[in-house]
Structure 1
Amino acid sequence: GAPRTPVVLSIDEQLFDDNGQYLFTPERLANAWDSCYARLVTLLNGGEHDKVVVMCGTPGVGKSTWIRDIGMAESSRTIFFDDLMYKVEKRKAFMAKLAELHITCPVEIVAVERNSESAIASMLQRPNNFQVPLDAMDRYHREYHRPGVSEGFS
């Protein structure tokens, strides 16, 4: 068979509708998270995966590109969780949810950082409907906090 690659769970991918349009609503976002958590549990319980790598960074810094270019060399036993995770509170909530789901495998984090101008330039290259408003980009960059070892990642 084909060589197996890591699995990528992406919140954003869940927000595209059947016509390929990016459609963000709080309800769709909540459903996307529920769906990704359910898939994570299923994959880990299946016995073929034993590590989670969480991506961290603001929009447009290159998290998905990092997964595609570097992360795919990881073992096929790895599950990537591709979301922003740009604030300590968001990461804390994620780790608490994993504990609640009885997920005990190692959870690593990869922070991708880039200056605001470059991230905005990349984001503006995206299809129109998948762009992040500039005021939101500014807010993400202001609120970004680099993950630290005290946060419980492996």
Structure 2
Amino acid sequence: MLKTINPDAFLETEDGRVWTPERNAEAWQRAYSALESVLKDGEVSRVVVVCGLQGAGKSTWIDVRPNDEGVIYFDAALPAAKHRKPLIDIARRYGATIEAVWIRVPLNLALERNKRREPDKIVPEESILSVAARFEEPSTDEGFLRVIVVN
């Protein structure tokens, strides 16, 4: 069973990750469709949205979680409530619980980790700075059952 949905995975090609605005929009649509698919099939009853700066360690945090057949992790920066709302709406439509995990790290650490990524996976620094400037702490007021902050 699928453990994680990450829109970046839909940007992968045989030559590595390729980003364009059009490919990015398509990647997000494919990620939403993948979430709907696992929820519709009844494979998943709990969605965990893992958000935070690029380079915060979201994917690493997910990788060390034990496999739980009823859980899917959605791995993306998702800086504002408006970016998380479509995921909450999809989960609710299928009766799944939805939780948030915010991987909170200092900006300088996220920037340093980003520099150590494989070349095709490095996020432009201005993108990380933009996410940091716009980041809104996730809250139960958005519709999450609970919010966990990981420092």
Q: Same fold (TM over 0.5)?
A: yes
2:8 matches 1:15: no
SS of 1:79's partner is strand
Residue 104 of structure 1: how far off its partner (Å) = 2.0
* Cα distance change, pair 47–92 in 1 and its aligned pair in 2 (3 A): closer
2:139 matches 1:148: yes
> Normalising to structure 1: TM-score of the pair?
0.85
- Residue number in structure 2 paired with 1:35: 30
* Cα distance change, pair 103–26 in 1 and its aligned pair in 2 (3 A): farther
- Residue number in structure 1 paired with 2:120: 129
- Residue number in structure 1 paired with 2:54: 59
Q: Which runs of 5+ in 2 are unaligned?
A: 146-151
CA distance in 1, matches of 2:130, 2:32: 26
CA distance in 1, matches of 2:26, 2:56: 25
User: After the TM superposition, which residues 71-110 of structure 1 pair with which residues of structure 2 at under 5 Å, given as runs?
Assistant: 71=65, 73-96=66-89, 98=90, 102-110=93-101
Residue 74 of structure 1: how far off its partner (Å) = 4.9
Q: Which amino acid aligns with 2:68?
A: S
Q: Which amino acid aligns with 1:106?
A: T
Q: How many residues are treated as equivalent by the alignment?
A: 145
CA distance in 1, matches of 2:60, 2:53: 13
Residue 92 of structure 1: how far off its partner (Å) = 2.4
User: After the TM superposition, which residues 108-127 of structure 1 pair with which residues of structure 2 at under 5 Å, given as runs?
Assistant: 108-127=99-118
Residue 106 of structure 1: how far off its partner (Å) = 0.2
Q: Which amino acid aligns with 2:69?
A: S
Q: Deviations over 1:30-67 (max 9, x none)?
A: 22122222222221222222111111101000000000
CA distance in 1, matches of 2:68, 2:41: 16
Larger of the two Rg values belongs to structure: 1
RMSD: 1.8
More strand by share: 2
Q: Which has the higher contact order (CA 8 A, sep 6+)?
A: 1
> Normalising to structure 2: TM-score of the pair?
0.87
Q: Which amino acid aligns with 1:84?
A: A
Answer whether contact 2:45 2:95 (CA < 8 A) is retained. no
Q: Which runs of 5+ in 1 are unaligned?
A: none
SS of 1:27's partner is helix
Answer whether contact 2:50 2:73 (CA < 8 A) is retained. yes
